[in-house]
Structures are given as structure tokens and as C-alpha cells.
Amino acid sequence: MNVGPQRTHTDTPAPPPQILSARGVVKTYRSGAHEVSALRGIDLDVQVGELVTVMGPSGNGKTTLLNCLSGLDDIDAGTVTVDGADLFAMSDAKRTRHRATRMGFVFQAFNLIPVLSAAENVELPLLVTGVAPKAARKRAHDVLGRVGLGDRADHRPGELSGGERQRVTVARALVGEPALIWADEPTGALDSRTAGDIIELLLEVHAAGQTLVIVTHDEGLGRSGQRLVQVRDGRIVHDGDPRTAPAASELAPAAAASVEVAS
């Protein structure tokens, strides 16, 4: 028997537990004679297992930050690496696939499909990435059970309460076991009690080891993580302990500057 030195895990340095790295991200919207500098140089790193909340006044670039750092939208300058892959160095098709397999989304724009049951809505992202229908259905049922909707799998969105519908979107984001989940105002359309349930669910998902970046106007959710990023006028003005973050009232509501461009 060979008792010589064997390769161990310590031979190869462990990759840094980093899921997201953004550097110098700039995004300018151009429509007609106007330019809006929505992101003016964003640097952001997120480690595996972190819960990062993003807050800031309306119109200051939070949704744009999520869209650009997830590769849903193009950027004008900078780099974004998610789970080891440079998003904007790959083809659109590859980026779409990377997003579908490595990221989950809880966005209001990504509504549930009304004619599909909860289970069918949840399994859809798996079917798109080629998972066999039977396995996809089983995973959809498992994850619906996890969000407390095991007995609602056959209901269509119209047969669910607002909070239950939002649970289905969380299940849909979780089903592919993504490296990173992005949420944009996941409690925005909910009453305060239902919002509280969704916050609890997201905190449970985080406690189970999931990495999450959540944009929210909800002070309770925004300050419940270990790390709060505050965005103002397309820049990150605070990144750290929520307890030392400036109060929302100290961030005067300044909309991103819109400048007239000579045509």
C-alpha cells in the first residue's frame, strides 16, 4: 500500500469565499435629449453567506444597481464577477445561462404566470435549464414545503393571498439552489403583517446559508442584516454595520441628476 505523501485539500489554496465582486460600475440611461447618471462608480464585494441590504431614497439607483450587478442590464463601464465568472466578458447567451443557473430573483417585475399553478411556476426555471420534468416537479414541491406552502402547490396565483404569492416567488428564486439571490423590495406591495412574515422567511433562508442582496425601503428589514449598503445619487455612501448607518432622514431625497444633452 502506498503510504507516501498524498495530496490534501491544503495543497490548493481555497478560493476566496466571494460570490460577487463589482468594480467601477457606471450606468447612464440615455433617452432622447436626457442622460441620467444612475450609477456613478459602484464597488461592491459580497462574500458567501452574507445578507446585504441596500437602502436609499427613491430614484437614487438601487434597482439599477441590482439590474446591472446581476447582468440583467448592460453597463457602461466597470466589471462584475459573479460566482467566478466575469458577466460582461461573456456572450449574452452565456450570461443568460449563468444568471439562470447561479442567481435567483425576487423582483416585482418577474410576476408569477397566472395560468400556472404554484408548483408549475416554481419548476419553470428548472425546466428552462434542462432539468427533467419529474425531478423539477419534486424539487418544486420540496421548496414550496420549505416556504410553508406544501398544501398550496396546485393553487394558481389568483387563488393565493398576496403574502402566499410572494412566498411562491421566494420558492421560485430558491429552487435552482442559486449561489446568490437578488430581491428588489420583496415586501413593497404587502401589508405590514404579511411583510413581517416575508422578512422572517428571508431571514430563515439566510440562516440556512443562502447569500442574499435585498433592496428595501423597510427600515426593519434593512437594519436586520449584518451589513447595510446605502445608495445615494448613484454612489454607495455607507457600507457596513446597520447600527452606524445614517438614518434615512439624513439622506436627503436627491434624485439622480438628469442632464440635458446637446443634440
Ligand X SMILES: Nc1ncnc2c1ncn2[C@@H]1O[C@H](COP(=O)(O)OP(=O)(O)OP(=O)(O)O)[C@@H](O)[C@H]1O
Segment contacting ligand X (CB under 6 A): 10-18, 51-59, 206-214, 245-253?
A: 51-59
| Angle (CA) 50 51 54, round 5° | 130
How far is it, in rounded angstroms, from Cα 118 to Cα 20? 30
Q: Which does 6 bind (CB under 5 to 8 A by kind): ligand X, Mg ion, none?
A: none
* Binding pattern for the stretch 18-47 against ligand X, x by CB under 6 A and - elsewhere: -----------x-x----x-x---------
| Plot region of 143 (φ>0 → left; ψ -120 to 50 → alpha; else → beta) | alpha
Strand runs labelled E in 190-241: 212-215, 227-232, 235-240
Q: Of 87 and 256, which CB lies nearer to ligand X in the complex structure?
A: 256
Q: Note whether 187 binds Mg ion by CB under 5 A.
A: no
Q: Of 173 and 251, which CB lies nearer to ligand X in the complex structure?
A: 251
Among 37, 63, 216, 230, binds Mg ion (CB under 5 A): 63
Q: Look at strands 258-260 and 235-240 and give their pairing.
A: unpaired
Segment contacting Mg ion (CB under 5 A): 4-12, 57-65, 193-201, 205-213?
A: 57-65
* Binding pattern for the stretch 63-102 against ligand X, x by CB under 6 A and - elsewhere: xx--------------------------------------
How far is it, in rounded angstroms, from Cα 207 to Cα 50? 10
How far is it, in rounded angstroms, from Cα 240 to Cα 230? 9
Q: Of 55 and 170, which CB lies nearer to Mg ion in the complex structure?
A: 55
Q: Of 77 and 207, which CB lies nearer to ligand X in the complex structure?
A: 77
Report residue 79: phi and psi, to 5°. -135, 150
Helix, strand, coil: what percent of the chain each, to 5?
A: 35, 25, 35
Q: Which does 176 bind (CB under 5 to 8 A by kind): Mg ion, ligand X, none?
A: none
What are the residues binding ligand X (CB under 6 A)?
29, 31, 36, 38, 56, 58-64, 255-256
